[in-house]
Amino acid sequence: MRDNIKGGALTEVTFFVLLSLYQPKHGYAIMQFIEEKTNGRLTLGAGTLYGALTSLEEKGWIAPFGDTGGRKKEYIITSAGKDVCNKEISRLKELVRVAKNIMEE
């Protein structure tokens, strides 16, 4: 995953996966959430999603939720993941602010 922890820039997929997990979800529900929230602009394949989930879990940004013995493993965002989301939102707001200033010159 190409997320830049130091600079705070996340890939769009990572950002939406994290946002989707403010409520516990399993993989298919995450894919549906992202497709719905982006009006179909972003669609994830299972391989992409499960690679992202593994990476995000290794970073400590998400964690398994509830009984993981079942077939559908659910995840939830961690406090570290929420911090990452908040930093990304701040970064995006600054990006928009700079762009507006340039366009208004």
pTM of the model: 0.87
Query: What local confidence, expressed as pLDDT, does residue 6 receive?
Result: 60
Give the range of the structural domain holding residue 29, as residue numbers without chain letter.
12-104
* 70 occurs within a structural domain: yes
Instruction: Give me the number of domains the chain comprises.
Output: 1
* 45 occurs within a structural domain: yes
Query: What local confidence, expressed as pLDDT, does residue 71 receive?
Result: 73
Q: Per-residue confidence of the chain (105 residues) as pLDDT tens digits? A: 455 556 668 999 999 999 999 999 999 999 999 999 999 999 999 999 999 999 999 999 999 998 766 678 899 999 999 999 999 999 999 999 999 999 998
Task: Write the CA distances from 65 to 6, 14, 42, 43, 71, integer angstroms.
Answer: 28, 18, 25, 24, 13
Query: What local confidence, expressed as pLDDT, does residue 74 receive?
Result: 95
* 37 occurs within a structural domain: yes
What CATH number corresponds to the domain at position 42?
A: 1.10.10.10
Termini Cα distance of the chain: 36
Query: What local confidence, expressed as pLDDT, does residue 44 receive?
Result: 93
